[in-house]
Structures are given as C-alpha cells and as structure tokens.
Amino acid sequence: MISLLFPFVLMIGLMYLMVFRPENKRKKQYQSMLDSLSVNDEIMTRGGILGKVINISDEYVIIESGPDRVRLKFTRTAIGDVLTKKEEPAKEN
C-alpha cells in the first residue's frame, strides 16, 4: 500500500517545488516592485506603454508618456516593469 502512495506523494512534492514555489517568489517580487514605486520612475505597462510616474495613489498610477507628455491613468497592477528608478540628488557636506 505504501509503495503505491510513494510515487504519488513524490509527484506532488516535485510539482510544489517546480511550480508553486517559483510562482510565489515571482508574486512577492512583483508586489515588492509595486510597493517601492515612486514618482519619476520610468515604467512600462503590461500593454507596452512607456512613461514616467507623475502621481501615485493606493489604487492608481498616473504616468506621462510620449513627446506630447500625455498623462494616462492606470491601476497599479497594469504596471509590468520599472525600467529606471529615480536618482536621489547627491547630498553635499
């Protein structure tokens, strides 16, 4: 009986290690990226629109895109990637 269950348990364990664990890691990285988002970051939406973050609220992000500086409002989950983080001004002593 135990010899019949062993392959099944082994397959479930391998599935967890190969599917669920990496997916949870990606979700945590994505949430961390959204949490660290700040004004003046260059971003790309999931639809491929590039722009600079102008305003951030709990649910929405307003970006400025293109040579005409068009402002677009997206949900935070529409952000696909942060291309460049804003640079902090250098402090002089």
Q: What is the pTM of this model?
A: 0.69
The CATH classification of domain 38-93, taken from the options 3.30.750, 2.30.30, 2.60.40, 2.30.29:
2.30.30
Has residue 47 got a pLDDT over 90? yes
Q: What is the pLDDT of residue 90?
A: 54
Q: How far is CA 19 from the centre of its chain?
A: 19
Residue 4, pLDDT > 90, answer no
Tell me: pLDDT of 88 over 60. no
Query: What does the domain layout of the chain look like in residue ranges?
Result: 1-35, 38-93
Name residue 36's beta-bridge partners. Answer: none
- Which parts of the chain fold into alpha helices (H)? 2-15, 21-35
